[in-house]
Amino acid sequence: MEQNKENREKNVICEKEKLKLATNNKKGIKIINNLIIYIFEYILFLISVILYLLSLEGCFRSFNECSNSEKYLRKYFNLGTVLVFSSFIFGTIIMIQTVRKIRKINFFIFCIIFLIIFYYSQGTDFAHHGTYNSIIFILFSPIFALLEYFLYLFLFFCLNFDLKKLAIIALLLIYIIMLLKTELKCLKFYDGIGNIRLVNDQKLDFCYIPKPKICGKDLLSGFFDINFYRRKSCEGFNNQKKIFLKYLDQRLKKYNNFSYPRTEYWNPKKSYRGLAKLVEKGINPVIGNNSQNKEIFVSFKEGRGKIQIYLKKNKTLIQKKKKISEKYSLKFNNIYLIYIDGISRRHFIRKLIKTSKLIEKSLYTNNKKNGIYKNFNSFQFFKFHNFDGHTKGNILPIFYGNRDNSKNKISILKYFNAKGFITAAAHNSCNKEIFDWYNYKYTSFSHYDHENVALFCDPNFEDKNDQWSIKKGKCSILRKCFYDRDSFDYNFEYILQFLDAYKNERKLFRISFGDGHEATTEVIKYIDDSLHSFLKNIFEKYYDEKSALIIFSDHGAQIPGPYDILFYEEKMFEKYFGLLIFIIPKNTVNETNIFYNQQKLITLYDVHDTLLHMININKYINLNNIPIHRHSLFLKINGKRRNCKNYFKEIKYYCFCYDYNYKNISK
């Protein structure tokens, strides 16, 4: 018995020693495994950092060359691919940390290193574009980590051979693949407002517009909307007196009420972006000044500002313009121009849903019109093609009639003034014109009778020392808030006051919005409700048988962003097909011609000539300097002469209007 007891004790000791040895072996294996994982993570991290730094290579040439040259655009695409691969590798590190549940000291070190890199590589131009890269990296890394984690779980379920779970995951994958396969085929690319589509017909014209091979903006619509997480409303954003005081001479700190100057008081040679001190030439910015030009004010209470608009009816101006207007009988006495920077025809329909539905009520082809919408017709131009991807090269043709360095640049505003129009302008960017006109050779500048422009040079909206900032101003990827309201609301309010002040006068207004001028392509959607209400107000109160409204853009989205990497071809197609919509009273002109021209290759030259046609100006100062490819849209266009190859040689870099042999080449 004693011997058996002794043997049992020996066996227990032996088992304990074996267990201890096994435990030590497991600990050793675990340490080795963890060490391998640590080394693997550091190798991955090093690769990720190197790739990120490689993706920061910039372009130090001119803005146009960097943004339009095919050579540099290919380079950006390759660098974008490198950047995405860098975020993919970092996403793998996140996934490994999540699965292995290793102490997070590694991940903390990695994040600190990347934050240091982000801090020292910021910039929003072509030479220093680290801000855009860091945003893309931060967006894509967790997405890749999540996808890789799902893949890990999928493999885990497969290894466990759980048929129910495997069947559910398989069905989900099939659904996702089918969804991607249909949505990415650009099925909506030819769709317009209502039931009208772009038509490629060789019998009608020589302009064949192909679809991009892959599309994704409809599928990912809303995905990159930073505002959904950060700025759902404008309450409390961009509203501080201490920021505003950067705009003023420091001697004026004691005041709480200020007004903004008109553009004729700006001095582009002495002040950045054309804004001189308000105290120059004796212009007192205090609200107590009774100057006729003071219409926009900011009042501060406890350091918080509030914008007030008081557009003043100028009776002297009315009498002056009335004497001129009585000499001319015109079909159109009220011409309304709505310009949206950086939005394509497709993106307008995609993001401005309520506004598109409103326009659909008055479409020329709509047989179910009712109410006020029976009185006018809307037309959309499917093959409206801009000249290049930037504002200046597209706005010059519509407002000055040409885009080269000739001395023949006459502002279209002079023609309207000569016909007795009272004019108004409002745009939410800090420029005298929609672009910096004073840097362009032979371009004259004409002032509008009323204008809301200088308001948006307030540093609460745009910092003049960082005009490309993505946090506020014209390039902001956040909602463009300003004194607790959306910046575009001030323009709507100003123009409505203008229309009330001059109800019975001949008038022109141009209202401009820069909300599409940003990288995510999401911010523009926040204008939809206000633009819808504004247009409805126009149609109900200020639209008659002598009114015409044009909604247009210069180009589609062009600031570098996620879609440059994901769906570059689709972005390029949308970039060069801008927005053009005409709304005119019934039976004022030959509407069958306009309907026919909807499917023809159109440029802003044609819009310029149509505006002149509206006010009975059909002759030009020097016909020799006017290109032959210009035409009023009220007259029928010969589509068989219009294509990029033999007609639109001015479209230097990209043209997507091919002859019909393109289809054979593409095969």
Which pLDDT tens digit goes with each residue over 202-237? Answer: 877 888 888 888 888 888 888 888 888 777 788 888
CA–CA gap between residue 93 and residue 106 (Å, rounded): 10
Category of 330 on φ-ψ map: left (φ > 0), alpha (ψ -120 to 50) or beta: beta
- pLDDT for 321: 94
- pLDDT for 667: 31
Closest CA to 567 of 189, 225, 193: 189
Cβ(272)–Cβ(466) under 8 Å? no
Order of all β-strands in the sheet with 376-380? 376-380, 580-585, 547-552, 334-340, 507-513, 422-427, 450-452
pLDDT higher at 629 or 577: 577
- 499 pLDDT above the threshold of 90: yes
- pLDDT for 430: 82
Output the six-digit token pair for 588: 């004022």
pLDDT higher at 276 or 23: 23
pLDDT higher at 126 or 310: 310
Helix (H) or strand (E) holding 354: helix 353-360
Coil/strand/helix, residue 552:
strand
Output the six-digit token pair for 427: 């745009």
Alpha helices, DSSP H, located in 380-505:
391-400, 412-418, 487-501
Range of lowest pLDDT (17-21, 193-197, 233-237, 289-293): 289-293
pLDDT bin (cut points 50, 70, 90) of residue 7 is low
Amino acid at 196: I
CA–CA gap between residue 42 and residue 36 (Å, rounded): 10
Secondary-structure breakdown of the chain: helix, strand, coil percentages, each rounded to the nearest 5:
45, 10, 45
For the chain, the average pLDDT equals 80
- Highest-scoring range by mean pLDDT, 11-25, 316-330, 442-456, 651-665: 316-330
Burial of 341 (0-12, 13-18, 19+ CB in 10 A): buried
CA–CA gap between residue 78 and residue 423 (Å, rounded): 47
Half-sphere exposure of 93 (CA within 13 A, CB side): 28
| Residue spans per domain, the chain | 2-183, 233-378+390-544+570-592
Distances (CA, A) of 446 to 396, 399, 420, 424: 13, 11, 15, 12
Output the six-digit token pair for 130: 């680290």
